[in-house]
Amino acid sequence: MKRLLYLALMVVALLAAHSPVQMAWAGIGSPDGPDAPAVSYPRHTWSEEFEAPADPTATFTGYTLTADSHSAYVKGSGGKMGDFSPEDSLTRGQIAQILLRLLPADLPSTAVYSDVPADAWYAKAAGVLGGLGVIRPGEDTFLPEEEVTRGELIRYIACFFPFREDAEVFTDVPDSHLDAPYILSARANGWLKGYSDGTVRPDQPITRAEAVTMLNRALDRKADKAYIDRVRPTFYLDVPVGSWYYYDVMEASVAHVHLSVGEDGKELWREHTGGHRPEEGFHLVDGWSYYYDSTLGDIVRGGDVDTFTFDEQGHYTTGSAELDGLLREAVLAHTNKDMTREEMLRALYNYSRDDFRYLKRPTYDFGATGFMQADALEMMKTHRGNCYSFASVFYYLARWIGYDAVTYSGTLGRTSQPHSWVEIEFDGTWYVFDPELENAYRTKYNNYNMKLYKYLDNNYWRYIRPDHIA
């Protein structure tokens, strides 16, 4: 009897030792090493649509994503002052195109979808990824403009890795979720971390920043931070140097030759190709004024350049969000990208001269300061004001496009009448810009011969100047 009991216990022990739950994918490699105790993971009942590869070492597709050659698999837009749109979601067509760049070039495009025109920019990507069984296999439509969720992208990437179940499940992914087995496999393969609260949020749309971070981790691509900090290989207006996704965006969007060193495969970039950097100085983009600092490799954000102040987004600011918005609207309405900077200045002067009407108001003391913001805002809202108002509007518009304009509260003429105007320095010489006085001659006397744009004062008008107003 004792012998039969002993044999029964031995059989139970042997069965437990070879249970797939207890084996924890031994042979694929545990993160704790080959001699670590086996970790128990629960059995899973996946949705009926899921079918794992018969060979546990094979991928779902029979292919892996290219990891050795570090090409640029994602792109920004807009040239030297372009953007990456890191917080934007990704469509299915965009994701397919990204994955296609990471696959062998000779893969056939076999899947056909009723909503994918043959000449669509994503047509080949849809045909290849659909044919591989990755994206909407067997469906009639591809839905290329539909936003892709985090779970979907994880599923697509996981199709290029062996299927594994030896990992803890995320708290917000039940077995019944369509993407659950792929999410678990991604975690087991080591390239999916999830959020600090134990979730992965599979139904949330994935952003471009999250996508490149996920793909870089899956491809074991680790940006050479020292090289990037030294060279600043490319620039995106909406990717600040200190952002959490900065290095991942550089890794994904800049083609580079690299060496892998050390046990962790740390990258050393030897050279890069492509990329773009703006020239040092002011740049006007979508009506906003920015200053690119080549030493920082970024626009100035939340700081000053000489007498110019920039907010956290890098926009030049007057200190009033309302005034900033009105000035931007004027710049968009009266300038265009084909103009030179001085042509823009002329157009904005004409606007300051012609779009406003004189309104008698109290004058300011000789040498008065600090009136420009309030006067410019009131003038932009009512389109009526005195010489201080005219000068204040043009002062800010000139600065908006990078001219270090100054405003005077001084006097004018033989009787020393209180007056305000703007001056800008060109090649060491200061020139007068007086939109209100020129407006007065046009509207009162129908005199269009008075030219006070970039006027070199020869004491004809007897401008009496106090110190520059900062």
For residue 108, the model assigns a pLDDT of: 95
Confidence class for position 345, pLDDT limits 50, 70, 90? very high
Average pLDDT over every residue of 99-104: 97
Please calculate the CA angle 136-140-146 and round it to the nearest 5 degrees: 55
Confidence class for position 10, pLDDT limits 50, 70, 90? very low
Mean pLDDT check: name the lowest of 48-57, 92-101, 282-291, 313-322: 48-57
pLDDT over 50 at 17, yes or no: no
Report pLDDT digits (tens) over 299-334: 999 999 999 999 999 999 999 999 999 999 999 999
Report pLDDT digits (tens) over 112-127: 999 999 999 999 999 9
Report pLDDT digits (tens) over 23-52: 333 223 333 334 444 555 666 777 777 778
Report pLDDT digits (tens) over 229-243: 999 999 999 999 999
pLDDT, the chain, mean = 89
SS3 readout for the chain: CHHHHHHHHHHHHHHHHCCHHHHCCCCCCCCCCCCCCCCCCCCCCCCCCCCCCCCCCCECCCCCCCCCCECCCCCCECHHHCECCCCCECEHHHHHHHHHCCCCCCCCCCCCCCCCCCCCCCHHHHHHHHHCCCCCCCCCCCCCCCECEHHHHHHHHHCCCECCCCCCCCCCCCCCCCCHHHHHHHHHCCCCCCCCCCCCCCCCECEHHHHHHHHHHHCCCCCCHHHHHHHCCCCCCCCCCCCCCHHHHHHHHCEEEEEEECCCCEEEEEEEECCCCCCCEEEEECCEEEEEECCCCEECCCEEECCEEECCCCCECCCCHHHHHHHHHHHHHHCCCCCCHHHHHHHHHHHHHHCCEECCCCCCCCCCCCCHHHHHHHHHHHCEECHHHHHHHHHHHHHHCCCCCEEEEEEECCCCEEEEEEEEEECCEEEEECHHHHHHHHHHHCCCCCCCCCECCCCCCCCECCCCEC
All structural domains of the chain with their residue ranges: 1-40, 41-231, 281-310, 321-445
Considering the entire predicted model, what is its pTM? 0.82
For residue 49, the model assigns a pLDDT of: 74
Give the rounded percent of residues in the chain with a pLDDT score beyond 90: 81
For residue 159, the model assigns a pLDDT of: 95
Report pLDDT digits (tens) over 254-283: 999 999 876 677 899 999 999 889 999 999
For residue 18, the model assigns a pLDDT of: 39
Measuring CA to CA, which residue among 399, 416, 400, 428 is closest to residue 466? Answer: 416
For residue 262, the model assigns a pLDDT of: 66
Q: Which fold has domain 321-445?
A: C8orf32 fold (3.10.620)
Neighbours of 188 (CB within 10 A): 23
For residue 391, the model assigns a pLDDT of: 98
Confidence class for position 6, pLDDT limits 50, 70, 90? very low
Report pLDDT digits (tens) over 370-429: 999 999 999 999 999 999 999 999 999 999 999 999 999 999 999 999 999 999 999 999
For residue 52, the model assigns a pLDDT of: 80
Is residue 206 within 8 Å of residue 153, measured between CB atoms? yes
Confidence class for position 2, pLDDT limits 50, 70, 90? very low
Is residue 26 within 8 Å of residue 38, measured between CB atoms? yes
Confidence class for position 195, pLDDT limits 50, 70, 90? very high
Angstrom distances, CA of residue 54 to CA of 59, 64, 262: 10, 17, 35
Please calculate the CA angle 375-377-378 and round it to the nearest 5 degrees: 65
pLDDT over 50 at 470, yes or no: no
For residue 8, the model assigns a pLDDT of: 44
